[in-house]
Amino acid sequence: MRVVTTRDELTAARAELGTVGFVPTMGYLHDGHLSLVRAATSANDSVVVSIFVNPTQFGPGEDLDNYPRDLDRDLALLEAEGVDLVWTPAVEDVYPAGSSTRVSVGGVTDVLEGARRPGHFDGVATVCTILFGAVRPTRAYFGQKDAQQTVVIRRLVRDLALGLEVCVEPIRREPDGLAMSSRNTYLSPAERAVAPVLHRALVAAEESYAAGHRLASELLSAAHAVLATEPTAQVEYVSVADPDTLAELDDVDPARGALLSLAARLGRTRLIDNLVLPRSV
Ligand SMILES: Nc1ncnc2c1ncn2[C@@H]1O[C@H](COP(=O)(O)OP(=O)(O)OP(=O)(O)O)[C@@H](O)[C@H]1O
Ligand SMILES: CC(C)(CO)[C@@H](O)C(=O)[O-]
Ligand code: BAL
């Protein structure tokens, strides 16, 4: 496994790699990240992983400075997966002095996470455009956990004709249902015990749908009833949205399915989760 930092080193190493499956990450890796690496390994000649805590996607007051980091552990995990190349750029390798271009994906970034984290998706779209341009992947792998991010990236790749395939892999969960996330490390033991309520709320909405309810208000009531059992979880939103446009729905058309998603704060930690109601006809 090669580990490189500068763009010149990356370009030279990339030239030897054939088809590339690319997994962009912010590090502090867990099984969710490794599931992306395994998917990339199975479909490409080589796998490239980037580890970069991207400053432009963090808002003022967010956790950029505290974001968990452990490069040695990350590299050992990636080496064990047989990854070919890891890019660990410094900020100036991604944003050279004087760089001022920002990429902004319209429409699907105005709602959900985009509405609560202004500028976040401009940062994600900008860094992914830069990373894709540098790595030139055949395929890029993203987790369904960041559902809106996958919609934004698909739109970005389509609109700018970036010439790569976007692959989305399922959410990896802890045995009690909590979606794996680097930010879970912030949770106190008491908060960690409460955290699976996010997934339980989504499952309750899914069960309501399976029981024949189609009104978003019915699915939302089912989710909120479960969330209310854990009052220390401060709910930011619960959403029933169109899976492609992310527009909020009044009722779910089984022919289109829906994205159920939510965000909640446990103490100082903000968690997100989601569940897809698949198209059924
Ligand atoms: N539980 C998971 N299952 C599958 N993919 C995941 C999971 N968690 C993260 N990913 C994916 O891994 C990629 C890198 O994500 P990132 O490094 O931000 O990790 P994270 O654990 O989501 O961190 P954060 O705590 O900041 O949300 C993204 O495409 C993300 O969707
Ligand atoms: C895609 C990404 C690596 C861009 O910084 C980040 O948003 C993430 O980890 O999901
Ligand atoms: N996994 C999404 C990156 C972020 O929350 O900034």
Was 144 annotated as part of a binding site?
yes
Label residue 121 exposed, middle or buried (CB < 10 Å: 0-12, 13-18, 19+). buried
Report the atom number in ligand 1 closest to the C-alpha of 170. Answer: 4
Of all protein residues, whose CA lies closest to atom 3 belonging to ligand 2?
25
Is 199 marked as binding a ligand?
Answer: no
Question: Model ipTM?
Answer: 0.98
- C-alpha to C-alpha distances, 182 to 63, 114, 123, 167, 246, nearest whole angstrom: 12, 20, 19, 21, 25
- What's the pLDDT at 219? 98
Which residue's CA lies nearest to atom 10 of ligand 1? 143
Q: How far apart, in whole angstroms, are the C-alpha atoms of residue 264 and residue 233?
A: 6
Per residue in 67-110, pLDDT tens?
A: 999 999 999 999 999 999 999 999 999 999 999 999 999 999 99
Mean pLDDT of 39-55: 98
Please give the CATH superfamily to which domain 2-169 belongs: HUPs (3.40.50.620)
Q: 4 and 87 in contact (C-beta within 8 Å)?
A: yes
Establish whether residue 274 lines the binding site of ligand 1, counting it when its CB lies within 6 angstroms of any ligand atom: no
**Domain ranges (residues) in the chain:** 2-169, 183-275
Write the DSSP string, 148-168: HHHHHHHHHHHHTT---EEEE
What pLDDT score does 130 carry?
A: 98
> Is 57 touching ligand 2 by the criterion CB < 6 Å?
yes
Mean pLDDT, to the nearest integer, of 149-176?
98
Which of 117, 184, 187, 110 shows the shortest CA–CA distance to 152? 110
In the chain, the percentage of residues whose pLDDT exceeds 70 is 100
- Active-site residue list: 33
Between the alpha carbon of residue 199 and those of residues 206, 219, 246, 261, the distances in Å are 10, 14, 20, 10
Q: Which is the closest atom of ligand 2 to the Cα of 53?
A: 5
CB atoms closer than 10 angstroms to residue 115: 12
Which CATH homologous superfamily contains domain 183-275? Pantoate-beta-alanine ligase, C-terminal domain (3.30.1300.10)
Query: Is the beta carbon of 181 within 6 A of some atom in ligand 3?
Result: no
For the whole prediction, is pTM greater than 0.95?
A: yes
